[in-house]
Chain A
Amino acid sequence: MSNNSSLWSDALRRLLKNRAAVGGAIILFVLILFAILAPWIAPYPYAYQNLSLGASPPSAEHLLGTDVLGRDLFSRILYGARISLLVGFVATTVALVIGVSWGLVAGYYGGKVDSIMMRIVDVLYGIPFIIFIILLMVVFGRNLWLLFIAIGAVEWLTMARIVRGQVLSLKNQEFVLAAQAMGVSSLTMFKRHLLPNILGPIAVYATLTIPQVMLLESFLSFLGLGIQPPMSSWGTLIKDGVESMEEYSWLLIYPGITFTITLFALNFFGDGLRDALDPKTSDN
């Protein structure tokens, strides 16, 4: 165990030296805080309309201006952060659970089980999932949780491959053989011996999955097939902004900036984490 903890503290030291990654982490932390505290920080409720005001540019009362219905843009971005980040974390968790279990089983049992399971992954890779998500949204209605699960169910494939590869390289090592000889059950083997040793790659890939998932959600919301009004995610805010950008450009620019900065932060943090945990690949 002592060897393991020094691996993590080494990684942490390397991570802290990477300025882009630390910056990304700080931005993410602030964003998550804002999203959680939105009901208390937001100056107005997200659906509060002031029709007589209409669209107004940024001012003292409305930090980032208001939209055509007189809704405060700053509040809507804050509430949008809740949805967008929630999608990111929930869908990534779904992908994580499926992908890690799939990869663990395939890699550990090997042989026929492995080749059948990985062949299924190969096949699924070739399918245009974005089209299937749109199809699901059309068939079953635009349900928030269905959207989360559908997106997560799409993103697990790479995770399964990564985990399987890691398990394959671990399973012939002495500590695994020793545990097997002691008659440890498969479940204990996964939990106690295999998972702790592959947490690094899992953490890295999970961090890099979150921005993918958020992009997918906002893509669907942009097309009008994701989050439905009066709720707002950053995707729907950008969609609304595009519709009125000729006169009210701030409605596009501020949500756009927020979303882009978040994606930057997530990507920088994910890249930094990868470099910290696996210094070998930091060249690419």
Chain B
Amino acid sequence: MFGIFVRRVLLAIPVLIAVASITFFLVRLAPGGPFDAEKAVSAQVLKNLNEAYNLNAPLSEQYFDYMSGVLVGDFGPSFRFPGRSVTELIMTGLPVTFELAIYAMLIALLIGVLSGVTAALKRNTFLDYIPMSIAMIGICVPTFLLGPLLVLIFGINLEVLPVSGWGQLPGDKILPSITLGFAYAAYIARLSRGGMLEVLNQDFIRTARAKGLSEPMVVVRHAMQGGLLPVISFLGPAVAGLLAGSFVIETIFQIPGLGRFYVEAAFNRDYTMILGTTIFFSFMIVFFNLLSDLVALWLNPRSRDS
């Protein structure tokens, strides 16, 4: 058990180094220098700029400088926002994106688990069909369509919720959170239904029922622990999806989070910002994948003894 933990953590380290290195060299491959798009500058200014951003040093030296900076959380200066560091920009956007992701996840878990478990218990009744049909819609309607449609209905036609923003008007956090959470609610509903169905047929559930446990006790204490394992394994990859979703949501609702910064950096060709955020995103995703793997491993009685 402990051995698996250590092995998983050790495996994550080369992955992170590889991701950071590939990103670094990919960005260096980009055609043109970082200051090409701006007004023509004199040779002297360009030289000073390159000097200031350490672009004159040999590539290998730049690489080791950058990597050792990353180790202590320093992603270098931003090309587009002079005087601000990439780390600073990430730290400005991160709390917003995090808050959005947490609300979305809470909505997804609450709706998803509740409807998935109900569907499994009331199999082949309308309590199964209706949530599962809605889940199919959640999987098929892309976020970037659902968001604008919700805005069109609740923001523009009914005028009950703000169309955009984050924390400026009352209720402006509702639509973005629902939009981001809906697809995950759908996935979680399907996963928990499938997991519960599998567990409910097993002997230990029959035993629990036979010894006279009440049905809610059977479901909550016995069935859900195993039945929701697929959901827990899904949570790690879901974080990656939530981050990608935040690109779209933050663009639609004009939320000043990390996702919007990233898309803007991609448009502005702010290479240091792209480099820094990519590495940062990768770290988070690898970390959350690891976390959900370890939790699932720890909760699974079959792997506990080995």
Give residues in A with beta carbon < 8 Å to B: 122-123, 125-128, 130-132, 134-139, 211, 215, 218-219, 222-225, 235, 238-239, 241-242, 245-246, 249, 252, 256, 259-260, 263-264, 267, 283-284
| Distance of A264 Cα from B251 Cα, bound (Å) | 26
Contact A127 B19 (CB under 8 A): yes
Chain B residues, Cβ within 8 Å of A218:
142, 144
User: Which 9 pairs show the lowest CB-CB distances between chains A and B?
Assistant: A263-B140, A284-B194, A139-B30, A242-B148, A222-B144, A130-B244, A128-B285, A256-B145, A138-B266
Interface of A: prevailing SS: helix
* Chain A binder among B174-182, B205-213, B274-282: B274-282
Closest chain-A Cβ to B191's Cβ sits at a distance in Å of 9
Contact A127 B263 (CB under 8 A): no
Contact B23 A135 (CB under 8 A): yes
**Cβ 8 A contact of A123, one of B15, B27, B30, B285:** B15
**Cβ 8 A contact of B26, one of A127, A135, A267:** A135
Contact B144 A219 (CB under 8 A): yes
Chain B residues, Cβ within 8 Å of A284:
194, 197
| Distance of A137 Cα from B18 Cα, bound (Å) | 20
Which one of B145, B148, B152, B285 has the greatest number of beta carbons of chain A within 10 Å?
B145
Contact A238 B281 (CB under 8 A): no
Interface of B: prevailing SS: helix
| Distance of A78 Cα from B30 Cα, bound (Å) | 35
Chain B residues, Cβ within 8 Å of A263:
140-142
Contact A222 B248 (CB under 8 A): yes
Q: What's the tally of chain B residues with a CB closer than 8 Å to chain A?
A: 46
Chain B residues, Cβ within 8 Å of A235:
144
- Asked whether any CB of chain A lies closer than 8 Å to the CB of B267, the reply is yes
Which one of A125, A263, A267 has the greatest number of beta carbons of chain B within 10 Å?
A263
Chain B residues, Cβ within 8 Å of A241:
148
- Asked whether any CB of chain A lies closer than 8 Å to the CB of B295, the reply is no
Q: A224-B267, A259-B145 are in contact. Are A135 and B27 (CB under 8 A)?
A: yes
Contact B281 A267 (CB under 8 A): no
Contact B263 A223 (CB under 8 A): yes
Chain A residues, Cβ within 8 Å of B299:
none
- Asked whether any CB of chain A lies closer than 8 Å to the CB of B12, the reply is yes
| Distance of A239 Cα from B248 Cα, bound (Å) | 11
Contact B142 A259 (CB under 8 A): yes
Which residue of chain B has its CB nearest to the CB of A138?
B266
| Distance of A235 Cα from B125 Cα, bound (Å) | 37
Which residue of chain A has its CB nearest to the CB of B283?
A128
Chain A residues, Cβ within 8 Å of B144:
218-219, 222, 235, 238-239, 242
Which residue of chain A has its CB nearest to the CB of B286?
A126
Closest chain-B Cβ to A221's Cβ sits at a distance in Å of 9
- Asked whether any CB of chain A lies closer than 8 Å to the CB of B6, the reply is no
Contact A245 B136 (CB under 8 A): no
| Distance of A215 Cα from B11 Cα, bound (Å) | 31
| Distance of A126 Cα from B282 Cα, bound (Å) | 8
Contact B282 A252 (CB under 8 A): no
Chain A residues, Cβ within 8 Å of B4:
none
| Distance of A239 Cα from B145 Cα, bound (Å) | 9
> For window 12-57 of chain B, which residues contact chain A by CB distance below 8 Å?
12, 14-15, 18-19, 23, 26-27, 29-31
**Cβ 8 A contact of B197, one of A131, A215, A245, A283:** A283
Chain B residues, Cβ within 8 Å of A223:
247-248, 251, 263, 266
